[in-house]
Amino acid sequence: MRRTMILLIVSLSFVWSSSAVAECPDGDDCKEKQAGEVYLNAEGAFSAGNYTAAIAKAFQADASIKGRSSGYEKIEPASPEADNYLFAAAATVRLGGKVDLTSDKPGASAKDAGKNLKWAMAVLRHMHEAEPDAYRPAAYLAEGLALDKKTTKEARAMLTRLAESDAPLDAQSWVVLADLHGAAGDGEQQKNAQRSCLEVASDASVCGVTVEEVSGIEIESGSSKSKKKSDTGIQIEAGASTGDGESGGSGKAAIEVF
């Protein structure tokens, strides 16, 4: 009887182990799921701030991207397929070109950073010219232009126009614009861009400035309240940051403008 029970336990353990392996085969999606980082597509990964995953998702959806292909020229900019090129190129810009665009599993690599940025800028410029009123290609192109001292003036002008037209820029675009205003010596516009960054960022640290450093902000933090008032009518309620570009239950920053 004891021997039967031992055999039964061993058999059940084997079945459970086999099921666990079967449910999680070796692959990128499985590893992402284990790490709690599952994204439906390139845009989802990009929005979450996981730029390497955004490129990987784009590769999975469209193999023509591999090897810095210029296949985007044959794609209608408004088509869903074009989004794969858009977010792969934008992610490449935000990674400073330090990614492997010749592999199905891009990882950090500075080997071909210059070539990668050149490719990304060509993609973004083509899409911007094809759809000049679309804010995303324009914003990401401006971010790329901001990387070169020769084109920072053009980058600042493009992002300023987008800001003035109330385009829904994300936190990173506001960071770039704030830095450009600061480099140009326009401290007031720099603070305005920083405020806009804090309004949309899920993690305030992304903005490179604390809420205390930007005037006109009232803070409610955690269980204790530290308030700084002015008549600008902006209030930020911030918890502890997760530090990974995403916000959990305690990492969300809620901004109320009144």
99 in Cβ contact with 50 (< 8 Å): no
Mean pLDDT within 192-210: 88
Report pLDDT for 10. 37
- Report the distance separating Cα 140 and Cα 236, nearest Å: 27
Most confident range (mean pLDDT) of 59-63, 171-175, 243-247 is 171-175
- Report the distance separating Cα 250 and Cα 77, nearest Å: 38
Work out the mean pLDDT of the chain and round it to a whole number. Answer: 74
The answer to whether residue 27 scores a pLDDT higher than 60 is no
Mean pLDDT within 175-197: 93
Report pLDDT for 228. 37
Q: 146 or 252: which carries more pLDDT confidence? A: 146
Q: Please report, rounded to a whole number, the percentage of residues in the chain having pLDDT higher than 70.
A: 67
Task: Print the SS3 string covering the chain.
Answer: CHHHHHHHHHHHHHHHHHHHHHHCCCCHHHHHHHCCCCCCCHHHHHHCCCHHHHHHHHHHHCHHHCCCCCHHHHCCCCCHHHHHHHHHHHHHHHCCCCCCCCCCCCCCCCCCHHHHHHHHHHHHHHHHHHCCCCHHHHHHHHHHHCCCHHHHHHHHHHHHHHHHCCCCCCHHHHHHHHHHHHHCCCHHHHHHHHHHHHHHCCCHHHHCCCHHHCCCCEEEECCCCCCCCCCCCEEEEECCCCCCCCCCCCCCEEEEEC
Bridge partners of 234, per DSSP, are: 257
- Report the distance separating Cα 159 and Cα 149, nearest Å: 16
The answer to whether residue 207 scores a pLDDT higher than 70 is yes
Q: 120 or 243: which carries more pLDDT confidence? A: 120
Please provide residue 238's backbone torsions phi and psi, each rounded to the nearest 5 degrees.
-120, 140
Q: 90 or 202: which carries more pLDDT confidence? A: 90
Give the pair of three-digit tokens for residue 215.
Answer: 């005037």
Report pLDDT for 216. 56
Report pLDDT for 64. 83
- Report the distance separating Cα 62 and Cα 205, nearest Å: 33
- Report the distance separating Cα 41 and Cα 81, nearest Å: 11
Q: In this predicted structure, which of 97-101, 171-175, 234-238 has the lowest mean pLDDT?
A: 234-238
For the entire predicted model, the pTM comes to: 0.69
- Report the distance separating Cα 8 and Cα 62, nearest Å: 48
Please provide residue 54's backbone torsions phi and psi, each rounded to the nearest 5 degrees.
-60, -45
> Angle, nearest 10°, between helix axes 171-183 and 135-145?
40
163-201 per-residue burial string, b: 16 or more CB within 10 A, e: under 16 = beeeeebbbbbbbbbbbbbeeeebeebbbbbbbbbbbbb
Report pLDDT for 9. 38
pLDDT tens for 120-134 read: 999 999 999 999 999
pLDDT tens for 62-100 read: 888 888 887 777 778 777 789 999 999 999 999 999 998
Banded model confidence at residue 212, pLDDT cuts 50, 70, 90:
low
pLDDT tens for 46-67 read: 999 999 999 999 988 888 888 8
Would you say how long the chain is, in residues?
Answer: 258
Q: In this predicted structure, which of 44-48, 152-156, 206-210 has the lowest mean pLDDT?
A: 206-210
